[in-house]
Amino acid sequence: MKYYELVLGDETYQLRLTSSNCVALEQRTKKSVLDAVQDYSITNIITILEYMCKSKENNFGQKDAQELYDKLVDNGYTLYDIIYKVIYEGLVVSGFLTEEELKEMIEQVNQGKKKLKSKIQEAL
């Protein structure tokens, strides 16, 4: 089975959503997986991380996911990085989208950020 490997210091996390974890995630969030990943609340991000890590480590729980989130932040990850460089990469290996589709999404988001930054600078 394929996993997205996330290395933080001397720890490696393997992320993927199996079909059983997709069902469990959807039941817990009351949303489809694709709708859930568009909810950028910290609670939701941690829940997604929990289920992505459960695929390899069955006993991975909410507290473990909270610790993972904190480790990501301590290692310089922003919310944007956690969403696009961790969660969406996990969705690629889980069959929700292709690597090319992810690259296109990231490019669109970056273009939007650049436009917003220009508007803010113009207003100043």
Contact 90, 53 (CB under 8 A): no
The mean per-residue pLDDT over the stretch 48-73 comes to 96
Contact 85, 31 (CB under 8 A): no
Alpha-carbon gap, residue 44 to 50, rounded angstroms = 10
Residue for token pair 């939701």: 44
So what's the pLDDT on residue 114? 81
Q: Is 12 left (phi over 0), alpha (psi -120 to 50) or beta?
A: beta
List, as one string, the DSSP characters of 1-30. Answer: ---EEEEETTEEEEE---HHHHHHHHHHHT
Predicted TM-score of the model (pTM): 0.87
So what's the pLDDT on residue 84? 92
So what's the pLDDT on residue 121? 80
- pLDDT tens digits, residue range 16-44? 999 999 999 999 999 999 999 999 999 99
Gyration radius from the chain CA atoms: 15
